[in-house]
Structure formats: structure tokens, C-alpha cells
Structure 1
Amino acid sequence: MMKGLAEHLSATLEDIRADGLEKHEMAIGSSQSGRVTVGGRQMVNLCANNYLGLADDPEVVAASMAALEKYGSGMASVRFICGTHELHKQLEATVARYLDKDDAILFGSCFDANGGIFETLLGHDDAIVSDTLNHASIIDGVRLSKARRFRFATSDMDDLETQLKIANTQGVRFKLIVTDGVFSMDGYIARLPQICDLAERYGAAVMIDDCHATGHLGEKGRGTPALTGAGNRVDIISGTFGKTLGGAMGGFIAGPQPVVDILRQRARPYLFSNALPPSVTAGAIKAIDIAEKADDRRDTLARHTTRFRTALADAGFDLVPGETPIIPVMLYDAGKAQAMASALQKKGVLVSAFSFPVVPREKARIRTQMSAALTEDDLTFAIDAFIAVGKDFGAI
């Protein structure tokens, strides 16, 4: 019975390959750091979300190992049965304190957090107003809800206001504006103060996905609300422990107490997924403790970001403007992006090409990401490789 379906899938895969859109996985044989081992070769790593270099930090590893030895491999249960550990409650309290929110709730991933929040909070009579370039997890989560859906052009405050006015004319009960804090494929920052101004004017709540900001942007790494001055005007924050805060896995929602409480009762990804392992939880607690005090690492990250962006721009590369550690090198053609990424890998620089459906068609790119784990020598090596390969491919 699978024959017809399998043949159809094989044909689809051939089309993906022909369009230059096939994605390849590279098996790393070392810890995630500024340099990694791939196929026995050491490579400078420019494509990890390891912004502060905590993925292999000795203190984070030690905390994880201690919890593994003391509490075992995992909880073998969902939270509301017998899966809640004291460490889970400690991590939730730590996140809430760190982000200055009433409370926080853990999920298996931020994808799960975003997938579970909208259908839990909002119904037929409500409206979600979402940025067009929001992360796929937000898009999928919004689709799961029964709320009315409105989209505004990325960071376009006039369009956001237009959508809020339309929602008001439809007599919706509650309105929720949702945006990425930092847009992961482009690296630019949401206009949070202006979004909050419009939210207050039109009676809406504000939610952000701050996965690419929490831990390394803003004062003490408290993310885009701290960076932009929006502060507690942002009502709900979703985030992850899989990037800056230890690099393992797990996500969270932080916000008002009633939001967290109703998620514990009704959010399906929370109710029907195993609890985070104690080792991951303990590692995340230690990572937040380090991140909060890590001004030295944030300074290194900012210095690397400025140097790498300036060097590539001066060489003539087409970069998406921005100030975050995400620096996309625009190539537009998917095949060219894949080929150039492969050439860089052969030179010892680990990068990934991004094309449709991860980014819009004709917007293929190599997204580079800085990390405090990189050294100045690593950057010199990577810059030289980019310039050499860029010339070979006519990118500069």
C-alpha cells in the first residue's frame, strides 16, 4: 500500500534536489564550540546558536553531570503525573526572576511552547496579530488556534496599526500581537517600544519569541525588552535553553501568573510530553547564572560581531543590515548558496546555506553567527576563507 506514496515522495525529493533545496546534515564528533570536529577535521564554527559559548562550558557540564548521577536519566512521566522534579520548579523560578515575570512554565522545546500557547489562551472571538516573518513555530501555533488571524508586514508599524483597526471593527474580544524579538534568518530586532505603544493604544497584549536574544542581548542578557527599553511592557516571553542558555534543549513561557497557570492546565504540548531530564534542567539553571554575570562574554561577542560584519562588508559582500550576532550573507540563488557553503566547509569553515522553505524563494543566503567561544584567530581564518571563496563564486 506504500508503493504509490513512496514513489510520489521520491519524485518530490528529486524535485527538491533539482531546485538546489536539499538540506544536508553534518555529523559533529566533538562538543559544540568555536571549533568543532567534522569527519575528523577541525573547523571554525560559524553556524551554531552558541552565542556565549556555554554549550561546553565546564560549569554547565558539571552541573548537568551531577544531576544525571544523582537523579538519573529522566523522569519517565509528564509533569502532572509524576514528572515534576524540584529542579523544574527551581528553573521556572529562575527564568521568572531573570526576565522579571510572575512565573514561567517549561516545555520540551520553544517550538512546543509556541505551539501550545495560542490555542490555550485565545478562542473564536479573539485575534492574533502576527509579524509575517515570525518563526515557523509561531506560524504553526497560530494555525492550531481558533482565533482570528491578522498579519502585518515585518516591523511595519503602519501595517500593524491597520490590522489592529480591522480587528477592532470586527468586535474581537482580546487581541494579542506576537513577534520574534530577533528575527532568526535576518538578525534584526523587533521594534518593541513602537509595538507596545500601538498595543496600549488599541488594547492589545504583546508576546515575543526571544530565543535569539535571551542570555546575550540587553542588560545582563535579559533580551530584546531590556535592549530596546520596552521592559515589562512586553507581557509574554517565549524562549529556549537550546541556544545561549546552555545549548541543550527545552523551552519556556514567562509571563503573568494566570497565563502560566492556564498553560499548566490546558497546553497540550505540556500535558502530553515528558518532562525535561534533570541533567538538562540543572545545566540550564547554571547557564542562566553564568549568563546573568557574563558581561565579559557579551563584550567579546559584540566585538566579534562588529569585526566580522565590517570585514565582510568592506570586502563587498551583500549583508542584511543589523547589529546582532546573526550576520546573513545574501546570495539569492539556492544552488549558489549551497555550493559556496560547501566550498567554505572544504576550507575549514562550518557554515550552512538557507533556502526555501526556511527563507522566501530567491532569498537564499549563508547565515553566519558569532559566538564568544570564537577567538580572534578563528575570525581571521574565517574572514580570509570567505573572501577567497566569495571571489571564486563572484559574490564579491
Structure 2
Amino acid sequence: MSLSTYRQEQRADDAAKAEQRRLDASAAEERRAERRRGEDERAARLRQQARQDREADRAARRQRRQERAEARSAALTPENIYRRGTLGLVTASGLASLPAQVLHFVGISPLLLPLPLALEGAAWVMAAGVAYADARNLPGWARWMLRSLVLGCAAFAAYINYGYGLSLVDHGLSEQDASTVGAGLAAVTILGPAVFEIRQWVSTIAAAVGSAEERDRRRHAARRRRHHRKVLRVANRLVSAAPFGALPAEDAWGRAWAIVHGSDEPCMTPDLHQQAVESADRMRTAQQHRKTSENAEESTESAAKRSTAELGESPAAAPAPVEADASAAAPDPAPVAGAIDRPVKAVAAAESRPRRRATGRVPESARSPRPKRTPEQLLDEARSATADWPIEELTAEAIRRAVRTAPTKARELRETLRAERAEETGQPPAAEAA
């Protein structure tokens, strides 16, 4: 092997080793970049998870605050405050009145300890009985009997407490202070059952009144019973004759209405039906009269707006006076005594024109559908219809009849066509005859 070949191989080996080192360094750099990307992605996911956790915690805190606020709002309603406040007053009344009774009876004898408990408990049990009677809709006498028992027990307990307050004079209080203590104990003894009874009374009234819709429904039922007593009696008989719950009240009312008034609609009577028919007849008559008047006014206005040239008439001289012919006129009346003979003057014969009979408008359902023409289409039809007409015959009435349009549009077409004819002939348009 020559020296040059050895050196070439050496250089090739060095280049291969350098290329390998470069590839190894590139692969190591890619691995490091991949690790960095993975670490960045994990850090981003952790940050995203932490952010979501914080948002979830904030949402949970907001939800808890909202729930607490709703709970406070529900707890602080006037109804709950009244109910709980009443229970608080009742508890305070019992705690203030019961010890004085216990001390009073125990001071007499320890064996009398159950007496104040029974006395105070009887008052509250009877008060609860009033609430139970209201809930079960028991008769009024049962409620008032329970109320009288509550009042009796509370009054006796108040008497005992008042006596105990007066007895405190022996314990060093002045008579005035002892009287004040006794009155306070008696008042607080009465206060508890009284407040409880007032609360129950208010609750009963509130349950009876109910919502505005229920109140309106009760008022409507009361007016119905008051205004239609005959129908009510028949409906009650139908309900009582049917099995229990088989015939609803509204169905019974509808059948009773049909029986009493003969109408399936539970709001109409024969008088109301007759009144409705008469009102409908009057309305139809008024509408027909109005349509007839409108047609007559339109006909008169259309004839008044036409000029002499449009009507195809020329102003002629007034007709010559015609001498009155005695023989052609009515026969001479028989002479009357005392009558004065006066000469008969000649009178011009009045020209009579047959009047158009007013008719009603054709209903929309009977009219044939006619497409609405644009001004350009209408002008094209007018040009085609009047192509061979002389300019003297271009009148609004003739154009209106030819293309079947309104008088106003016919006058506009007349002016347009005359202007076109004048441009073609080079002469000014002829003035319209008055």
C-alpha cells in the first residue's frame, strides 16, 4: 500500500468519524429538544389543570355563597320571621312563667311539683288542639271549646303568678315592686298562649285567602251562584243523584245550563241568541246601505269630473221654447165657482236624463281575479288601442273604456299620448275643451 492511498483512507476515516460525531450531536440535540417539549407540555398541562382547579374552586365558592344567600332569603321571609318569632316568644313566656308557678306550689308542698307542669302543659296542649282542629276543618264549636280551655288554664296560671309576685314583699321587695313583678308574671303567662293563638288565626286566614287566582276563582263561583240560582239548583241535584265523584261540578253545570236554557254553550240564553240575531241583521242592513251610498257617490263624482270633450258632447244652444199645448197637456179641469181665470204661460220643456240605478258592490268572492298592471304596461295597451285614432278622439273617457282603467289614470294616459302625437307631428298638443 502506497503512502497516498493510506492518507486517502485516513482522510476518509476522519471524515466518517466527523460525520458520525455530527450525527450523534444532532441526535442528542433532538433528544434534548424532545425532552424540553415534553417538559413544556407537562408544565402547560399542569398549569391548565391548576387553572381549571382554581376556577372550579371559585365556582364552588360562588355556588355555596349563592346557596347561603338563598337560604338566608328563604329563612328571612316575613312568614318565617313571624313563625319563628312567635315560637321564640312562646318559649320565653314559658321559661318566665313556669318557674314562678313551680316555686309557688313547691313552697306550699313538694308534692305539688307536678301541678304547675300539668297546668302549663294543659294550656299548650289545648292550643295545639286548636291548630289541629283548623288543619282538619273541624266544626267551630270544637275550636271555641279548646280556646276556652286554653283561656281558663292561662288565666289560672296568671293568677298564681300574680299572687307569687305579691308574696315577694316578704323577701324584701316593696309593695309597689312586688305588684309590678306580679303583673309582669301574669302578663307574660297570658302572652304566650295569646301570641300562639293569634299566629294560628293568621295562618288559618292566610290559608283560606290563598293566592290571587284562587281568590278570583272564589269570587267568580260566588257570582255564578248568585246570578244563576236555577242552574245551581239543577246542577246540585245532578251531582247528588250521580254516584260520588262520578260527575264533576263543571260537567254538572253544563248539563244544568242546557236543561234550564236549552243551549249547549254555558253562557248563552234564548234572549241573548235572539238579541245576537237582531244585531247581526241590523249590521248587514247598515253595511248594505253604506255600500249603496258609496256607489252612488262614486258614480256622481265620476260623471262630474268628465269634461264636455270627454263625454263626446258639444255645447249646443238651449232648446227652443215649446209652446204649451192645452190639448196635449192634461185635460182642462172642471170650472170651479169663484175661480179666477189666469193666462197659462209657455214654459220650456225640462230635459230629463235617465238616472243610473244604484246597485250594490259585487262581493270580492264573485269578482274575477284581474292582474294589476304597471304604468308601463298600461301605457303600452293604450298605445296599441289608440294607434289608429285621430288626435281629436284621444279623450280620457274613450281611453278609459278602451283599456278599462280608472278616470285619473285615463287622464294621465291622455296627456302622455297627446304629447307623443305632438312630438311626432311637430305641433303643440291641442288644449282640452272645458
Q: Same fold per TM (> 0.5)? A: no
- TM-score, normalised to structure 2, is 0.13
State the TM-score, normalizing by the size of structure 1.
0.14
- Structure with higher Rg: it is 2
Structure having the higher strand fraction is: 1
Higher RCO by CA contacts (8 Å cutoff, separation 6 or greater) = 1
